[in-house]
Structure 1
Amino acid sequence: MRTGELAGRVGVNSETLRYYERRGLLAVPPRTVGGYRDYPVSAVGVLRFVKRAQELGFTLDEVEELLQLDQGGPESCGAARALAEHRQEDLAARIRDLQRMHDALGTLVGQCDLPRGDRACGLLEALR
């Protein structure tokens, strides 16, 4: 299948496919006589795997590792679990950071309702 068809089936653009090829996430397909990339049907599954992993917050480096683990046997499950636990811990830390930022912004926005003695903005002052 050609680049445009594959990209359409999985909801990415053709540049993403080429980028994934360069990164080694997607095998470089053979070319047709006319020079077009000719992806196998299995590329759809690989790309869906990549997209699902990204939706769960995995980095492309981690996705590459997960793809390699997917080729392994039952022992790969433990390594995949360790990656997922690490990603879960990282996401929890990011959520805590985002919550702190949200709360700090809420406090600053709340100051906008306070009367001002001059025309200075309390929110902008806090950012200096």
Structure 2
Amino acid sequence: MMQRYVLDAWALVAFVESEEPAASRVKALLAAAEAGAAELRASVINLGEVYYRIGRKHGARLADETLAELRDLAMEIVSAHDDLVFAAAQLKMRHSISYADAFAAATAVAQRAILVTGDRDFTALADRVQIEWLARR
């Protein structure tokens, strides 16, 4: 079975902002997905998180351009359907994480995927979600 990965907002922002070494790992995962050697996914909620972070820092036009570029990548955007909403809510109920982070984790669990992040808030979920930890300088 092909390895699946879920990119959270932390990983996507690191990629967009070229924050190394995390950006290089995300690029490698994207290349693997383009070659058909891996599957990449991200929750639409986390895509929204990237959008507002880029917009706050660089303005709405760059946020729009970034969103368009992310949508063109070899990465499936996972909708926030009812099952995922309540799975995320259960994680939020039990753990001290943001609701957006809960969506990333719930997406990884539902997709049987490795969550790719550098956000240490996910440490509390390490027993529930397989995590690949990224770093940036």
TM-score normalised by L of structure 1: 0.25
Q: Which is richer in helix?
A: 1
Q: Which one has the largest radius of gyration?
A: 1
Give the TM-score taking structure 2 as reference length: 0.24
